[in-house]
Each structure stands twice: as structure tokens, then as C-alpha cells.
Amino acid sequence: MGADLIISDDGNGDIGAFAKAYMEFPVDEAYITIYLDRWDADAERWRQITYYDAEFYAKDYPDGINSPYVDVTFKNQPKGYYYRLRGVFGAVYNDKFEGFSPVTDGILIEK
């Protein structure tokens, strides 16, 4: 399994999040969770702000689950901070689980 995770500054405090998983063959189930983190300069650490979950089941996708994706916008976030995305991608096939957890670089939201 591979994955793309992309963060973007969509303006007005809106942060775009795109996550896509790539499977070698159709799976029975797929899960994508995107966490939005903001840099806390005082504590010198990332803090989770919110998240978005998506679940994909073979019964809902007659052509198979090969490359599920999520394209969401986290609205009205305070400007002047650095934000990043953490993704958790999971797939189940024949009762076997595989997971992958990429993280983006932080971007300054200032528009």
C-alpha cells in the first residue's frame, strides 16, 4: 500500500486536505483518517486540532476498492500558525490488515 497526503492553504483560514491510498489489488475494507495539527510555539510541539474519518467497504464499491480518497476542507482555522496533516491509512483483505501513516511538512496559514 502507498498513499498521498497533501495539505494546502485554500485562503480565509480554510485548509485543504487530500488523501489517497493506492492498493496493489482490490481490498475488502479501507480506512482513511486525516488529523489536522497546529504548531504550539510555547510548548514547542504539534497539537491535534481536529480530524476527519472515512470508511470504505467492498459491498459499496462493486468495481472494488483500489484507490480510495478523501478531499476535505478544514474551515475557519486561525491564521498566522503552522499546520500539518497526519494520515492513517488502513486496508483489510482476507482478514489481514496493513497500515501506513504519512505526515506532511508544516505550512504557514496566512491568507
Q: Check: CB of residue 68 under 8 Å from CB of residue 79.
A: no
**Residues contacting 28, CB < 8 A, separation 6+:** 57, 58, 65, 92, 93, 94
Q: What are 65's three cell numbers?
A: 476498492
Q: Of 33, 23, 32, give the one whose Cα is nearest residue 93.
A: 23
111 pLDDT more than 80: no
Q: What is the mean pLDDT of the chain?
A: 96
Q: What is the pLDDT of residues 73-102, one digit of tens each?
A: 999 999 999 999 999 999 999 999 999 999
pLDDT of residue 1: 83
pLDDT of residue 51: 98
Q: What is the pLDDT of residues 11-59, one digit of tens each?
A: 999 999 999 999 999 999 999 999 999 999 999 999 999 999 999 999 9
User: Maximum CA pair distance of the chain?
Assistant: 50
